[in-house]
Structures are given as structure tokens and as C-alpha cells.
Amino acid sequence: MRLHIGIDDTDSPQGGCTTHIAVRIIEELLGLGCEFTDYPNLLRLNPNVPWKTRGNGAVCLRIKVDQELEGEVRSTVIGEVERYAEFDCENTNPGIVLHIGLVPEAFIQFSNRVVGSVVTLEEALTLVDGHGASAVGYKNMRGIIGALAAVGGLQRGDHTYELLTYREPENWGKPRLLDEATVRAMDCELGDQTFNNVDPESGRVLIAPHGPDPVLYGVRGETPEAVHRAGTIVETGEPVERWAIFRSNQGTDAHLRRVEKLSDLRTFHPAVVAGKIVETPRTIQGGHVIFGLADNSCEIDCAAYEPTGIFREVVRRLIVGDRLEAYGGVRTEEEPRRTLNLEKLEILELAREILLKNPGCPECGGSMESMGSGKGFRCRSCGHRDGTLVKEESVMERELEAGLYVPPPKAQRHLTKPTKRYGREKKRRTPGAMHEPWHWP
């Protein structure tokens, strides 16, 4: 029989990792004789919800297994989650969903909604009960939402891959020992097949996290072959405990939904909106840049925060009248009006930037000065006065062009599609033999 195993919400800011638990489960299931029909699926969920975990990622394992082993598989999964989940954290609420057979369309639609909006636990439990699945939840059971979304997240369209390597437990919480020169060498060799390895603005290596979790490093790319090759190039100063290749919605913009009117923006919902700039960008305390965007329905603020680096320079060069599409999410309604936190923007049409300057003197060609509002101008050189003259208009050359602008990799979210992936989107998944090896041990 085919069995889909979804897991979510097992980590915390203090440690733990859902993918790490999933890899431990993979090893146990292989020992039971289970056959994997896909790489472990890593589904990044809506990044705007306030209760998200660090990376807000859920995992689904898809296997073929003899029916008589179903009970043993279930107890193995539950046992590993109970052994390694971060139950002491108030915000960690693990969930497990198991489903036999084909994935119902209702699960797929639910998964899309979890990635791009907000759903309730009641909706998840209703779907689980209505389609013969089973769920195990702990504490407030919110993890069941992500676990069910992972089961439904078949990623039949665009997707990417990630090789995730893990540390020995005695090294958790210690500085990671990564040979950055080999990371840069890997990026040089595989830069067209992998992404977000090194930040071009700062030169910072990006494949290693900084928290106390078990991940040593992760490389994202277009194919399993590419990320596996990357893992053979990168060298570390500490042992790798285990690794696996995941198939994922990372780097696909899967969370973004087009909203027709600014007034339809909803809190916690990622969106793509269009409008015209109605307030000149201004820099506020902390280095964040804010501007006003409007359409026929309302006005909102758009914010490019300090970590987005040189992206803020693009935002600062926008002027009133520019027409653009803004990509991002609303995290709170506490402001006087809604603020869209920018993930990227596309300039559709640039307004003309007009410079007004005093006219030249018609008598001597010298510079003139205003005699007051509506009173004309007087020449500083010869004293000629003319009450009919007005300021002259000069069209300035803009320092921007229409097109897409994305923050540097160091400021991108897991789901944000990097510039190099545009035009490389996968239209559908083509099932085939899995790359060997896809895990170790």
C-alpha cells in the first residue's frame, strides 16, 4: 500500500528540526523494508503567520509498504517525533498525519491555502476525518495543519531540491566548522544549477544556519544531481552525522497570491499588488525605507527593511507617479494603515521626473531670481525684470529602469524566487528513478 506521512511543528528557537526527525524516520523505515516513491518533501508554509517556527517547514514521506507493517510504521513515526520534538517550548505543537492511497484533491487545495493564507485546525481535522486519514496532535495540535498540508503538497509544478546535512549531537549549539573556500568553489562550479550559496553584496556564505539546530548546511538547486554534487565539494571541519536530499517548494514564490485591489489585502496573507506611488520614499529610524502606494480602493505603506541592503537604494529612487507591482505580506494591523513588507517589486512604468529651474535672463543671459510668488523674475547681473516669466521644466534622466528588483540572497525568504530562477520554472514534475544516493547512511 501507499502511505503518506506528514510531520510538522517539532522545532523551537532553542533547537530541534523537523527535517532532522524526518531523516531519522527515513532510516528506520528503510530498515523495515519500506520503499520510498519520492524524495522527502519539504514544504515551506506561509512565512507571515506569527506562530511560525524558524523556517516554517513541514515534511511528508511517501512510501510503499506491506499492509501488515502499517502498525509498525505508525508506531515508529510517533516514537521518533515523541523522542526528538521540542515539547518544552510553549510554541511547539507537533502534529502527524498519515494517509493511505491516492492524495485527495481536497488535501492538495488545503495545502495551497496553508502556503498562501491562514486556515484553522478545525478545517484540517474535518478533512482528515472526511477522507479516512488519521492524525496525532500534541499540546494545542496546531502541527496537524502543516502535517496535512505536507501530505497534500505534491509539488506537481515548480519545485527545487535541497541537500541537508546534519551535525553530531555534541556539536549542536557550537559554531559551525565550514570551509568557506570550498563553498565558494562549489558556487563557481554549480552557480547555474544551485542558488543562494553566497551573498554577492556582502560575500557572506549563506548555506549554514546560525542557530542551535542540528543542520550543518544546506544547498538548494534545480536538480538532485546538482545538490548532491555540491555536497561532494563542500568540506567541513566537523563530522557529518547524516544527510538527505529533499524536494521542496523553496525558491518558487509558491506563497504569493495576486490581489486585485489594495483594499483586499489581508493580515498574514502573502500577496502581489499593483498601484501607483503617492508618497515619496522616506528613510525612518533603523534604516528602513517606507513609501505610499495607492489604487482606486485605498492607500497602503510599503516597507523595505534594513536587512534588504542595496534593495533599499532601488526603493529610494522611486518617485510619486511610478507604477509598480509589490510582492510581500502584511504581518500586523497595528499601524494607522496596513504595511506591506516587501519581498521584491517590479516597476511597470516610470513617471517623468521634472526639475523646475529659474529661467535665464532674456537680456544678458544671466541667472534670475524670483521676485515672489506670481511676481516674475529679476536678473542678478543686469537687473532686468520680467513679470511674465515662469520656471522652466527639465526632464531628468531616471536612475532606474522598468523591471524586476529582488533583495540580495541574504535577505530572501525560503520561498522567495531568486532572480536566477526566473525562466527556469518547472511546469510539471516528471517522476522517475531517484538519484542514488539520495541519503546517508
pLDDT for 355: 86
Angle at alpha carbon of residue 342, lines to 336 and 345, rounded to 5°: 125
Summarised one tens digit per residue, pLDDT across range 293-324 is: 999 999 999 999 999 999 999 999 999 999 99
Rounded to 10 degrees, what is the CA torsion of 334, 250, 17, 47? 10
Band of the pLDDT at 249, cuts 50, 70, 90? very high
Q: Which has more pLDDT, 390 or 196?
A: 196
The answer to whether the CB of 34 falls within 8 A of the CB of 4 is no
The residues, ordered by sequence, that sit 6+ positions from 265 with a Cβ below 8 Å of its Cβ are 259, 271, 273, 300, 330, 338, 340
Amino acid at 38: D
Average pLDDT, integer, range 266-270: 93
Asked whether this chain's domains 2-154 and 262-350+398-414 adopt the same fold, the reply is: no
pLDDT for 232: 98
Helix axes 70-84, 18-31, angle to 10 degrees: 150
Residue among 369, 372, 351, 371 at smallest CA distance from 359: 369
CATH architecture of the domain 2-154 equals 2-Layer Sandwich (3.30)
Q: What single-letter DSSP state applies at residue 363?
A: T
Q: Is the CA virtual torsion 76, 82, 86, 89 positive or negative?
A: positive
Q: How far apart are CA 415 and CA 259, in angstroms?
A: 18
What are the contacts of 174-177 at 24+ separation with CB within 8 A? 176/208, 176/209, 176/216, 176/217, 176/236, 176/238, 177/236, 177/237, 177/238
The CA-to-CA distance between both ends of the chain, in Å, stands at: 25
Q: What single-letter DSSP state applies at residue 437?
A: -
> Would you say residue 51 has pLDDT above 90?
no
The residues, ordered by sequence, that sit 6+ positions from 42 with a Cβ below 8 Å of its Cβ are 19, 57, 58, 59, 162, 246, 247, 248, 249, 250
Concatenate the DSSP letters of all residues of 265-317 into one string: --TT-EEEEEEEEEEEEEE-TTS-EEEEEE-SS-EEEEEE-GGGTTHHHHHHT
Task: Tell me whether residue 58 is exposed, middle or buried, using C-beta atoms within 10 angstroms of its C-beta: 0 to 12, 13 to 18, 19 or more.
Answer: buried
Summarised one tens digit per residue, pLDDT across range 162-193 is: 999 999 999 999 999 999 999 999 999 999 99
Say if domain 262-350+398-414 classifies as CATH 2.40.50.1010: yes
Angstrom CA distances, 148 to 5, 121, 133, 217, 278, stand at 9, 10, 9, 27, 42
C-alpha 162, offset from chain centre: 14
> Would you say residue 378 has pLDDT above 90?
yes
What average pLDDT is seen over the chain?
Answer: 95
Q: Which has more pLDDT, 261 or 333?
A: 261
pLDDT for 333: 66
Which percentage of the chain shows pLDDT scores above 70? 99
Length of the chain in terms of residues written? 441
Q: How far apart are CA 356 and CA 352, in angstroms?
A: 13
Residue-wise burial string across 38-51, b where 16 or more C-beta atoms lie within 10 A, e elsewhere: bbbbbbbbbbbbee
Band of the pLDDT at 335, cuts 50, 70, 90? low
pLDDT for 392: 85
Q: Where are the domains of the chain?
A: 2-154, 262-350+398-414, 353-396
Band of the pLDDT at 441, cuts 50, 70, 90? very high
Q: How far apart are CA 265 and CA 440, in angstroms?
A: 44
Task: Tell me whether residue 340 is exposed, middle or buried, using C-beta atoms within 10 angstroms of its C-beta: 0 to 12, 13 to 18, 19 or more.
Answer: buried
Pairing, β 403-405 against β 339-349:
antiparallel
The answer to whether the CB of 271 falls within 8 A of the CB of 66 is no
